[in-house]
Chains A and B, each alone.
Chain A
């Protein structure tokens, strides 16, 4: 009886050893696994930045008063806006139309006079609404500055009865990389893992070696595990690389436990490798497997993981779909572990969900994997 598990391990080891030789002999595999994620992390980490500053803005000052100049100083005093010429309303509109300015602040004549207590002195803000996010951002910034200036002018005598003091925890500066990098890690691991395994089983079909394998006593679970293990090891190296990159290049802190980060990564990778195997088992063809692999890893990891769009903001139906998207759990686990810290209990649910996905997809892949031809 004890010979059985022993033979099982032997055959898994033989399969893995062969895959390792394949990987060593094919630089493309190493490129997909190691170089591509690093390059993409740098590109996307800098590219996916929602931090906007030096927004071109022009002020059409019709008042030429001390108060108008004070408002101008307040706006350009921050890094958020850069001054663009546009002295009149007409010039400002032209600048907006030409795209030289993203916003124009129109200060009407009599602005200072109207600042007398008890009266209202409106200013006008023209915003280029073609980029909705940026427009909202500009609106918020200008409103905040105007409010500060008007409070200062009011001299505290009329300080509002209610005030909110905001402390942003975990990411006080609101830097994009801090929440983007954990999301990107999930995204990059997903693509590389699914692509790598999607290619490997389909390759055996195309080569005809699958028939040879089926004629040998090697079992389907042995083939699946033997193929999975080397790529899992490769994936862990990849995880180490991107985490190191994240903390050195993008200054993303690691406040939680590093071993837990790797445990979460391990569960996620197993699931993604399983997904690749499943695709490969069904597709039997490298071209189809690549397409299906890229699509099925990229889209959910990008859109349904909460990396770009908060899951709470999604339509109900999409929210329901995210329940079976492992990337969602890794993004949450990594953001928690890297930015907030905390132990096992905070990410236990994420780990459980990823493990469940892994077991399910591997079972599915093994079952769908017919050891007979046709």
Chain B
């Protein structure tokens, strides 16, 4: 096969009359970090479960690590690691026994299991915790233990379903450090999240809404496509009133409140900092300052959603 780690063609999944995933197609290259974004209920977990051989697709096909998920789910399961959304380690067991068990489930034993355990423990920053009861660990540490359990058998593809839900920012940063390192060593990462800031870590991003994949590209390309103009940040007083006066003027694509200020998408040919400052002052705002901003993935997500809704 090619060096594609994941290939999905027209994947669909129905639950009764409800179509959770609607004709989703994409490919993920080996060693890539692929982010799968979407609101709760958008079909992220359903997609991941189909790719892991946990749910049979209603229609369409998918290959993971070269194996057909519908026809060779066992071969798929041996070559992937999976961290489910629900925290699913055995909380009554010590760290060591959890690792032991998942290693055994993947057929590791004896010396190879011991050496893989040592590696995974070091990689995931769990040194010195082997005898701790899992239930007494913090959320972030448990998450890294779940990750360690999922990478014991050196999977070629690692599926992470909302791995950092309910984990504090520092723990999230630690977690992502491990993920980037694994990807650097050649593991393909497929990760779902609804933290848009996390998606910046991903090589490419797929955006899910209502079961459809509505956008797919690198973060930078997505920003260029969906936020084509410049982003200007305005601060000042009585901005809200001024904003409604600016709405609908030529060259202004979007105005969103952003903290105490305004977040504007503008056509660079028509608008710059000086013109926007003047326009806001004319519209009644005071003490206005405008600076250039970076489009965020939130802008992209909202723009993509808007376009998808228009198309529908």
**A13 touching B89 by the CB < 8 A rule?**
no
How many A-B pairs with Cβ below 8 Å?
Answer: 84
**B15 touching A374 by the CB < 8 A rule?**
yes
Given the interface contacts A14-B101, A22-B93, A374-B15, does A217 sit within 8 Å of B74 by beta carbon?
Answer: yes
**A208 touching B101 by the CB < 8 A rule?**
no
Q: Does A7 touch B at the CB level, under 8 Å?
A: yes
Q: Does A124 touch B at the CB level, under 8 Å?
A: no
Query: How far, in angstroms, from A215 to B49 measured CA to CA in the complex?
Result: 9
**B102 touching A216 by the CB < 8 A rule?**
yes
Query: How far, in angstroms, from A208 to B90 measured CA to CA in the complex?
Result: 10
Question: How many interface residues does B have (CB within 8 Å)?
Answer: 32
**A208 touching B100 by the CB < 8 A rule?**
no
B88 touches which of A18, A22, A26, A209 (Cβ 8 Å): A209
| Closest chain A residue, CB of each to CB of B82 | A215
Q: Does B107 touch A at the CB level, under 8 Å?
A: yes
Q: Does B53 touch A at the CB level, under 8 Å?
A: yes
**A17 touching B104 by the CB < 8 A rule?**
yes
**A211 touching B54 by the CB < 8 A rule?**
yes
Chain A residues with CB below 8 A from B15, complex form? 374
Q: Does A11 touch B at the CB level, under 8 Å?
A: yes
Chain A residues with CB below 8 A from B80, complex form? 215
Chain A residues with CB below 8 A from B238, complex form? none
Query: How far, in angstroms, from A25 to B90 measured CA to CA in the complex?
Result: 12
A185-212 interface bits toward B, Cβ cutoff 8 Å, 1 = contact, 0 = none = 0000000000000000000000111111
Query: How far, in angstroms, from A292 to B25 measured CA to CA in the complex?
Result: 44
Q: Does A282 touch B at the CB level, under 8 Å?
A: no
B31-64 interface bits toward A, Cβ cutoff 8 Å, 1 = contact, 0 = none = 0000000000000000001001111100000000
Q: Does B106 touch A at the CB level, under 8 Å?
A: yes
A207 touches which of B78, B90, B159 (Cβ 8 Å): B90
**A11 touching B101 by the CB < 8 A rule?**
no
**A11 touching B107 by the CB < 8 A rule?**
yes
**A372 touching B54 by the CB < 8 A rule?**
yes
Chain A residues with CB below 8 A from B77, complex form? 215-217
Given the interface contacts A25-B92, A211-B54, does A217 sit within 8 Å of B105 by beta carbon?
Answer: yes
Q: Main SS of the interface on chain A?
A: helix
Question: How many interface residues does A have (CB within 8 Å)?
Answer: 27
Query: How far, in angstroms, from A212 to B80 measured CA to CA in the complex?
Result: 12
| Closest chain A residue, CB of each to CB of B89 | A209
| Cβ of A14 to closest chain B Cβ, rounded Å | 2
**B78 touching A217 by the CB < 8 A rule?**
yes
| Cβ of B77 to closest chain A Cβ, rounded Å | 5
Interface residues of A in 8-55 (CB under 8 A from B): 10-11, 13-15, 17-18, 21-22, 25-26
A216 touches which of B93, B105, B159 (Cβ 8 Å): B105
Q: Does A218 touch B at the CB level, under 8 Å?
A: yes
| Closest chain B residue, CB of each to CB of A203 | B90
| Closest chain A residue, CB of each to CB of B90 | A209
**B residues neighboring A (CB under 8 Å):** 15, 49, 52-56, 74, 77-78, 80, 82, 84, 86-93, 97, 100-107, 109, 159
A14-B103, A18-B104 known; 7 new pairs, CB 8 Å cut-off, are A14-B101, A18-B90, A22-B92, A25-B93, A209-B88, A215-B80, A217-B106
**A residues neighboring B (CB under 8 Å):** 7, 10-11, 13-15, 17-18, 21-22, 25-26, 207-218, 372-374
